[in-house]
Structure 1
Amino acid sequence: MRAHALPRRPTVRLTELGFGGAQGGNLYRATTDEEFAAAIDTAWEGGLRYYDTAPHYGLGLSERRIGAALRSRPRDEYVVSTKVGRLLVPSPPDAHRRDPEGFDVAADHRRVWDFSRDGVLRSLESSLARTGLDRVDVVYLHDPDDHWEQAATEAVPALVELRDQGVVGAIGAGMNQSHLLTRFVRETDVDVVMCAGRYTLLEQGALADLLPAAQERGVGVVVAGVYNSGLLSRDRPPADATYNYRQAPPELIDRARRIADVCGSYGVTLPQAALAFVRRHPAVVSTVVGLRTGGQVTQSLARSDADVPAALWPALRAAGLLAPVAA
């Protein structure tokens, strides 16, 4: 428990825009080694120094690719985060099948939930072997939604030990919800959390719990899923846009289009506004965007650098398209 702990920010420095590595694990479709390496090269040239991955992403493929792409670069100049909680266990009988979790890779391993101390240590050791790096700078508990007790009482203390020993730089949890992340912030000794999809230009649920708690406790928030799984990723959301990894309901597509209309009246695209909005909150320390190709990196850098007029936000609030208390 950290009821009397001094508030602090993450002990590692994250760039404002971070490189999300799920696509490097062949999320939804195959990506070549060369294509992904070019994306990392473009990101590096563009100043990105924060790279996020996980064993879950392509059954270790993302970790291997990110490690290979970064290994020759100065180690103190970049930050890598990975995740624990899903152990990869060899499954030779399934090697002829494709991974059922949405990654275009052979199902030669299976994921086993494990937030025990031993599971955390084994997972991190395997991640270091796959990346070939000497250390991981940030370690998140990965989607412990149904494992609060073990994650809070076994996994977090194990990570605290590793942090205190200098083996890892910062620790936290990454989830697609804000409620349980708020409990981690208030009840455990984490430095940073990754919140996917619950604080975006489309929805601001985390304003009610996570963001004020993070400010109070001095915990950094990394925002992922800034485009809500695709709905905010285009200038004009199409009828087949996705939300939460599924077909978006018509009412959300309509809302996103109305936001896009207001953005357009201020000379701003929907994706540019989506990136700029989340950064305005003082608890947010970085925004991680999933990237697959050099072209996507270049596009994201341009969006990130866009000049968004301050008058856009009150206009969206006045139209009922932003929470009244949103920054």
Structure 2
Amino acid sequence: MNSEPLNLGKLGFGGAGIGNLYKAIPDGEALATVLAAWDSGVRYFDTAPHYGLGLSEQRLGAILRDKPREEFIISTKVGRLLEANPDAGSAAAGSAKDDEGFDVPATRRRVWDFTEAGIRRSIEDSLERLGLDHVDIAYLHDPDVHDLQKGISQALPALEKLRQEGVVKAIGVGTNSAEAALECVEAADLDLVMLAGRYTLLEQPSVPLLDRCVEHRTGVVNVGVYNSGLLARPEVPDDAHYNYDRAPRAVVERARALAAVCRDFGVELPTAALQFPLRHPAVVNVTVGASRPEQVTSNANRMQESVPEELWDALEGLGRD
């Protein structure tokens, strides 16, 4: 494992939004969002080829390549290669959009590849899109979605080799599955786990994973802390989303109960949701996506707010899954 853990800071910037997740945003707004993160003091930036078929990497690199390289940390992901879409040139598919949640033309397609050659190529391709000479962290992306056992037997040893060679400083796995992450932590010498939506103010099914990460000295970068937007506003609306879908009534009511306790202590629900994960010793950073500058500024301000210890005591148990 890397003898000197990277200092990611408390708040990181997630690049899915600037890859046109769910909706297209203009280049200018995307670049302004990255600049707002920099101006807010954020120095850890995460992206992936998956995000907008490379668009996120391109936009992030357009800003970061002009910043002092030693002043920021950047991670990208491996496991999905981008290749030209053979159907993109046809008249019928000429205006087709990506079918995996990003509002971008389907000029490329994702191809799973967990081999060492595929992982090396993935990093080289990412560097070209970013316009940088190296990335600091490489995560294996969603191994549970493709083939967890191939991820463990092929991809993770390849990442360990790249770290040994100095191609990257740190390696990890990025996943929505605490169970898959735990298997990876037990199987390889990982510096980091990027865990999405499994350790939040609302629910904490991943506590066994986090406790094991402490034992392995594996840091956790926590993402998805707003549970698909459910915890992103001081007042929880009836049409709130959870796990990328309409939130069930019982979940909405549980979130409203959390919001009510927060109000009693003069704290807004999103502030508590953002700061809560850092209370576990395994969590080294909370990374949040954004597609508008004001979202970044709001998150940065919330991370700096003072939260009374009594609030955490009052919330204890309310969010347990």
TM-score, normalised to structure 2's length? 0.95
Residue 22 of structure 2 corresponds to residue 25 of structure 1: no
Q: Distance in 2 between matches of 1:120 and 1:16?
A: 29
Deviation at 1:245, TM superposition (A): 0.9
Match of 1:137 in 2: 136
Residue 16 of structure 2 corresponds to residue 14 of structure 1: no
Deviation at 1:10, TM superposition (A): 6.7
Deviation at 1:185, TM superposition (A): 1.1
Matches within 5 A, 1:110-259: 110-145=109-144, 146-207=146-207, 209-259=208-258
- RMSD across aligned positions (CA): 1.4
Match of 1:56 in 2: 50
Deviation at 1:187, TM superposition (A): 1.6
Is the partner of 1:205 in helix, strand or coil? coil
TM-score, normalised to structure 1's length? 0.93
Is the partner of 2:231 in helix, strand or coil? coil
Farther off after superposition, 8-17 or 192-201:
8-17
Q: Distance in 2 between matches of 1:273 and 1:19?
A: 18
Verify the 8 A CA contact 2:2 2:169 in the aligned structure 1.
no
**Which AA in structure 1 matches 2:115?**
S
Q: Distance in 2 between matches of 1:65 and 1:73?
A: 14
Is the partner of 1:228 in helix, strand or coil? coil
Deviations 1:9-52 (A, max 9, x none): 77322121000000110011111111111111111111100000
Structure 2 unaligned regions, length at least 5: 89-93
Structure 1 unaligned regions, length at least 5: 1-6
Q: Distance in 2 between matches of 1:125 and 1:281?
A: 35
**Which AA in structure 1 matches 2:285?**
S
Verify the 8 A CA contact 1:59 1:88 in the aligned structure 2.
yes
Q: Distance in 2 between matches of 1:9 and 1:23?
A: 33
Q: Distance in 2 between matches of 1:158 and 1:11?
A: 20
Deviation at 1:303, TM superposition (A): 1.0
Q: Distance in 2 between matches of 1:149 and 1:314?
A: 40
Verify the 8 A CA contact 2:202 2:320 in the aligned structure 1.
no
Q: Distance in 2 between matches of 1:34 and 1:8?
A: 37
Equivalent in 36, 43, 51 of residue 37 of structure 2: 43
Deviation at 1:323, TM superposition (A): 3.5
**Which AA in structure 1 matches 2:168?**
V
**Which AA in structure 1 matches 2:257?**
R
Matches within 5 A, 1:82-93: 82-93=76-87
Q: Distance in 1 between matches of 2:67 and 2:214?
A: 34
Matches within 5 A, 1:288-307: 288-307=287-306
Is the partner of 1:121 in helix, strand or coil? helix
Deviations 1:258-300 (A, max 9, x none): 1000000000011000011111111101001001121111111
Match of 2:281 in 1: 282
Q: Distance in 2 between matches of 1:201 and 1:8?
A: 30
Deviation at 1:322, TM superposition (A): 3.4
**Which AA in structure 1 matches 2:140?**
L
Q: Distance in 2 between matches of 1:88 and 1:177?
A: 24
Match of 2:91 in 1: none
Tell me the number of residue pairs that the alignment of Structure 1 and Structure 2 aligns: 315
Deviations 1:116-153 (A, max 9, x none): 11211111111011101110101001100041221111
Q: Distance in 2 between matches of 1:203 and 1:139?
A: 27
Is the partner of 2:87 in helix, strand or coil? helix
Deviations 1:30-77 (A, max 9, x none): 111111111111111111000000000000000000011100100010
